[in-house]
Amino acid sequence: GGGGGEQKPLIVLDIGCNKGYTSADFFDMVCPAGGANAKTLHNAINAVARDHKTKYKRACGACGDCTRELNKNTHVKNPIDVHCFEPSPATYQMLLDVKEKLDIGAKSDERAKWFIHNKGLHNASGILAWHRACQDSVGDELCTIVPESTPDAIKVEVTTVDEFAKASLAAGQTIHMLKVDAEGLDPAVLRGATETLREHRAVYVMFEFNPGLRDKKPPYGMWGVAKGLTKLLEVTDWLDKLSYDCYLDSRVDDGKKKVDAPALYRINGGCVRRDPKILGWSNVVCASRAFPEAAQALFDLSKLVGRTGVWE
pLDDT tens figures, 248-303: 887 655 555 555 556 788 888 878 888 877 656 789 999 999 999 999 999 988 87
CB within 8 A of 209, min separation 6: which ones? 186, 223, 232, 248, 250, 278, 281, 282, 283, 284
- How do residues 107-156 score in pLDDT, each as one tens digit? 545 799 999 999 999 999 999 888 888 887 787 666 778 888 888 888 98
How do 120-121 and 126-130 pair as beta strands? unpaired
pLDDT band at 6 (very low <50, low <70, confident <90, very high): confident
Indicate whether 186 pLDDT > 80. Answer: yes
Q: How far apart are CA 169 and CA 164, in angstroms?
A: 7
- How do residues 43-71 score in pLDDT, each as one tens digit? 999 999 999 998 888 899 888 899 999 99
Q: How far apart are CA 210 and CA 229, in angstroms?
A: 12
Q: How far apart are CA 100 and CA 80, in angstroms?
A: 18
> According to the model, what pLDDT value does residue 62 have?
80
Concatenating the DSSP letter of every residue in 58-121 gives TTT-TT-GGGSPPPS-TT----EEEEEE---HHHHHHHHHHHHHHTTTGGGTT-EEEEEE--EE
In this prediction the pTM is 0.90
